[in-house]
Chains A and B, each alone.
Chain A
Amino acid sequence: MRPRTRFEQLAMPHLNAAHTLAYWLVRNRADAEDIVQDAYIRALRAFASFRGGDIRPWLLTIVRNAAYRWLSVRQRASNVIPIEDAFSARDPDAKPVLELASDEPSAEARLIGAQDHARVRAALAALTPVFREVLVLREIEELSYADIAMIIETPVGTVMSRLSRARTELRTKLKAMIDKDERHAL
């Protein structure tokens, strides 16, 4: 089978994982899409170096690097403020950050409650990227600590402690939001 076809067969099923990681690193859909496309082409060019096994950690490493490259470029050009940040800057506690139509919760998700979803998303968005990425890789992609360690280029012990801190942070932020909403409700 041609490497190009083989790459497509192995890598395309993980497009959602790649997009989710990129989105939560840059918090902007248009940029996340560009980053994922860039990462896939880079991965295709580097495909000869892929040693087989689960392609996900290998692919997500490339996606993560592409996202951080993009973030560092954005930092340099910091006079450009993404519209989502501009919105939340007006009211730092503003709830949903510019929800697009594609954000509509699925039928399955509605059981939990749209309110909780918006809150959890806002809480996750409020964390620093290092905490966001471990939460995405573990809670959404359900990757092993060893795979996460490979992707974020740290020892496994660091993954464990960072994940623990990230969960605590997320819980704190979420609780603060719920308390705030309840005070408003009274």
Chain B
Amino acid sequence: MRCEEAKDLAGPYRDGELAEPAFGTFQAHLAGCAACQERMAEAGDMALTLRLAAREPASIALEARIRAAIATELPAAWSAGRKWRWPGLDPSNWPGFAYGGSLAAVCAASVLVTWLAVRPPADLGAAHDVVAAHMRSLLQDSPVQVASSESHTVRPWFNGRVDFAPAVTDLAGSGFPLAGARLDYVDGRRVAALVYKRRLHVVNVFVWPSSAAGDSAEQLSQVNGYNLLTWRRGGLVYWMASDLNPAEMRDLRSLL
């Protein structure tokens, strides 16, 4: 094999896309050709630099925006039947599409049935308010009014803003850094909202005085794909909302 021919095979070889017999022929040539080895190394360097230089990670704000958009997307849009065949994507490129409308109709129907079957329990009065407040916080530029991981900054901030003093602890040591706090309006009253982070997840902890006496065990529920954990302790009601998994939410609850 001559270098001219080998040049065309170098890319596919490096990409792991070269099949036999070309693979064997190229490898044999490469072993004995310093010029091709050199070119190969250079191409590898360029690919690596490109990989490191050109990545464009999505911002946390974008992730929050998309999660909120997914959560608020009306199920009606799914069952519309024609929406899935939107312009721009040629259905013939997707084998599943080729089977035609009947399969899609079955899928759409099952989506609708699933949606109707999984509804939030009716006894959660404040749950919808909590999810709405959680989602609103994700839609803003920042979920906090006072940005601090210092409990000595956040706790006094609530003075005069709410008529109770919520306990505020930074839990960065346990993997739940405190991002800050804000006021929110839930269940017809002004409440304290503490914002914790867990990796890329935002956790809102809403606190307000309880009208019922005594402590209560935690209760887990799900609304719009968000997990909610609620409990009563020391005369205060706690509601935790996040897209975090329930196990880690329980971890945070045990630390609060």
Contact with B along A65-83 (1 / 0, CB 8 A): 1101100000000000000
- Which residues of the partner chain A approach B96 to less than 8 Å between Cβ atoms? 49-51
- Which residues of the partner chain B approach A44 to less than 8 Å between Cβ atoms? 70, 73, 78
Whole-angstrom CA separation of A2 from B115 in the bound complex: 7
- Which residues of the partner chain B approach A109 to less than 8 Å between Cβ atoms? 52-53
Q: Which residue of A lies closest to B77 (CB)?
A: A45
Do residues B66 and A144 form an inter-chain contact, with CB atoms below 8 A?
A: no
Grouping DSSP codes into helix (H, G, I), strand (E, B) and loop, the B interface class, with mixed when no group exceeds half, is helix
Q: Is A89 interfacial (CB-CB < 8 Å)?
A: no
Q: Is B90 interfacial (CB-CB < 8 Å)?
A: yes
Q: Is A24 interfacial (CB-CB < 8 Å)?
A: yes
**Residue in A12, A41, A46, A140 whose CB lies within 8 Å of B50:** A140
Whole-angstrom CA separation of A2 from B116 in the bound complex: 10
- Which residues of the partner chain A approach B12 to less than 8 Å between Cβ atoms? 145, 160
Do residues A40 and B225 form an inter-chain contact, with CB atoms below 8 A?
A: no
Whole-angstrom CA separation of A167 from B7 in the bound complex: 12
Q: Is A136 interfacial (CB-CB < 8 Å)?
A: yes
Contact with B along A4-44 (1 / 0, CB 8 A): 11011000100110111001100001001100110011101
Give min CB distance, B52 to chain A, whole Å: 5
Give min CB distance, B113 to chain A, whole Å: 11
Do residues B225 and A8 form an inter-chain contact, with CB atoms below 8 A?
A: yes
Q: With contacts A19-B58, A45-B84, A120-B50 known, is A51 near B67, CB below 8 A?
A: no
Number of A interface residues at 8 Å Cβ cutoff, please give it: 65
Do residues B54 and A136 form an inter-chain contact, with CB atoms below 8 A?
A: yes
- Which residues of the partner chain B approach A84 to less than 8 Å between Cβ atoms? none
Q: With contacts A40-B70, A46-B86 known, is A51 near B50, CB below 8 A?
A: no
Q: Is A85 interfacial (CB-CB < 8 Å)?
A: no
Q: With contacts A120-B50, A139-B51 known, is A33 near B59, CB below 8 A?
A: yes
Q: With contacts A12-B67, A36-B62, A108-B52 known, is A48 near B93, CB below 8 A?
A: no
Contact with B along A97-121 (1 / 0, CB 8 A): 0000010011011001000111011
B:74-124 near A, CB below 8 Å: 75, 77-78, 83-84, 86, 88-91, 93-97, 104, 107-108, 110-111, 114-115, 118
**Residue in A15, A49, A116, A163 whose CB lies within 8 Å of B104:** A49
- Which residues of the partner chain B approach A170 to less than 8 Å between Cβ atoms? 46, 50
Whole-angstrom CA separation of A106 from B55 in the bound complex: 11
Give min CB distance, B169 to chain A, whole Å: 29
Q: Is B33 interfacial (CB-CB < 8 Å)?
A: no
Do residues B225 and A2 form an inter-chain contact, with CB atoms below 8 A?
A: yes
Do residues A138 and B63 form an inter-chain contact, with CB atoms below 8 A?
A: no
- Which residues of the partner chain B approach A47 to less than 8 Å between Cβ atoms? 78, 111
Q: Which of B94, B97, B118 has the most CB of A within 10 A?
A: B94
Do residues A48 and B49 form an inter-chain contact, with CB atoms below 8 A?
A: no
Q: Is B8 interfacial (CB-CB < 8 Å)?
A: yes
Whole-angstrom CA separation of A116 from B51 in the bound complex: 12
- Which residues of the partner chain B approach A160 to less than 8 Å between Cβ atoms? 11-12, 17
Do residues B65 and A37 form an inter-chain contact, with CB atoms below 8 A?
A: yes
Q: Is B21 interfacial (CB-CB < 8 Å)?
A: no
A residues with CB within 8 A of B: 2-5, 7-8, 12, 15-16, 18-20, 23-24, 29, 32-33, 36-37, 40-42, 44-51, 58, 61-62, 65-66, 68-69, 102, 105-106, 108-109, 112, 116-118, 120-121, 124, 135-136, 138-140, 144-145, 150, 153, 160, 163-164, 167, 170-171, 174
10 A–B contacts, CB within 8 A, in A order: A4-B71, A37-B65, A45-B77, A51-B95, A61-B93, A68-B88, A69-B88, A102-B59, A105-B52, A112-B49
The 10 closest A-B pairs by CB, nearest first: A48-B107, A65-B88, A19-B58, A117-B53, A23-B56, A51-B96, A20-B56, A15-B58, A120-B53, A46-B84
